[in-house]
Amino acid sequence: MEKLSVVVPIYNKQKYLESSLNQLLSNPSEKTEFLFIDDCSTDDSFLIAQKIASQDSRVRLLRNPSNIGVSYTRTRGIREARGEYIGFFDADDMIDEGFYQALYETACQKRKKPDIVVGDFRNKSKNRIEPPFYNRLNPYIPFSWQRNSFMEKEPISCCNKIYRAEFLEDKSFPDYMREDCYFHYWTMHDAKRVVENMEVAYYYQISNIERSNSYFNFPCGNFSEFIEGYHWMRQKIGDSKSLMKSFEQHQVQAYQDFLNYCIHWNLPEREISKIVSAVIDYCLAAYSADIDGFNREVLSFYKSSFEIQNLSIEQLEQKVKILGSIYPKR
């Protein structure tokens, strides 16, 4: 049995893929398998991955039968993995030398194997690297006592962590935008033992970010996913009010991003404002029994920021139908 499996989703990353994968494979990694899973790339990514895989026996190259998205691809990686622990690597990022080996060795030092081992995480651009984090967990205090304070500072990425494979047996990545956030809160909520090793870091390449088309072309899906994802998360961690509040803060930031990108919609400004207002009101009306005061206040605040008067329910529904026909949900 391999000690560690590293899942690498691949989709149209030919610009960065070869350098990132070679850097990943140059790391010392005893009994580690690397699962390259191509999600039906339309550029040369699969050919690049195929070439690299043919030169390294630790690599298993898989290809999805159709383009199913990063959430399902990562979940497939969990099911295919043979390692005792599972990590995730994005195909345009970088890591410190020995990153995964160091996290695995940290896990092995514990009498009871931790569910999650956390490494440092830094945003990196061409001109700047964020300063390092420092250990925030006291090894002599149960994680359950430190969870809330830890979550206030921990990045939501799944990539600076390794997870005990048995712990992930009932876990998956939901098919919502920002799937990392949902997975992060779910796993941290369920984890009983979490430890850190801040000596090694994962580097998120900001300069490589290419905004998803869903920001620009599917605003109807964005708004509905905001609501659907919120209720999905409540089912998973609703018994933890403090974690739910922290999650809501991340949701608010994402929601604000969606609104900020309204300028990219190919519609007159006044029409955009009406649609934003209509969708928010529609969501409030549809989920009036479930949305708590915090989210109601947030949604109402963003609605009022557009200074649009209330529309009737009939007008709201009509606006949403129009929006859905122009920008069908993905």
And the tokens for 329?
């949900």
Residue 303's SS3 state is helix
Confidence of residue 133 (pLDDT cuts 50, 70, 90): confident
And the tokens for 16?
């960065």
Do 189 and 240 form a contact (C-beta atoms < 8 A)? yes
What is the mean pLDDT of the segment spanning 304-324? Answer: 48
Is the pLDDT reported for residue 59 higher than 50?
yes
DSSP annotation string for 53-72 = HTT-TTEEEEE-SS--HHHH
- Residue 265's φ and ψ, nearest 5 degrees, are -75, 140
Residue 16's SS3 state is coil
Instruction: State the average pLDDT for the chain.
Output: 79
Do 113 and 164 form a contact (C-beta atoms < 8 A)? yes
**Other Cβ atoms within 10 Å of 142 Cβ, number:** 11
Beta pairing partners, 195: 117
Reported as type and span, the H/E element at residue 78 is helix 69-80
**69 burial via Cβ count (<10 Å: 0-12, 13-18, 19+):** middle
And the tokens for 57?
């026996």
Q: Does domain 4-208 have CATH number 3.40.50.1110?
A: no
109-125 as b/e, with b when 16 or more CB fall inside 10 Å?
eeeebbbbbbbbbbebe
Q: What is the distance between the alpha carbons of residues 168 and 165, in angstroms, rounded to a whole number?
A: 5
Q: What angle do CA 91, 94, 96 make, to 5 degrees?
A: 145
**pLDDT score recorded for residue 25:** 93
Q: What is the distance between the alpha carbons of residues 46 and 18, in angstroms, rounded to a whole number?
A: 11
Is the pLDDT reported for residue 318 higher than 60?
no
Q: What angle do CA 51, 53, 54 make, to 5 degrees?
A: 65
pLDDT tens digit string along 160-196? Answer: 999 999 999 999 999 887 899 999 999 999 999 999 9
Highest mean pLDDT among 36-40, 265-269, 317-321: 36-40
Is the pLDDT reported for residue 288 higher than 60?
no
**Other Cβ atoms within 10 Å of 181 Cβ, number:** 21
Do 160 and 120 form a contact (C-beta atoms < 8 A)? yes
Residue with the larger pLDDT of the pair 35 and 299: 35
Threshold 0.85, pTM exceeds: no
Residue with the larger pLDDT of the pair 163 and 326: 163
Which residue intervals of the chain bear CATH 3.90.550.10? 4-208
Residue written as token pair 């609703």: 238
Q: What is the distance between the alpha carbons of residues 309 and 307, in angstroms, rounded to a whole number?
A: 7
Dihedral sign for Cα 272, 273, 278, 284, please. positive
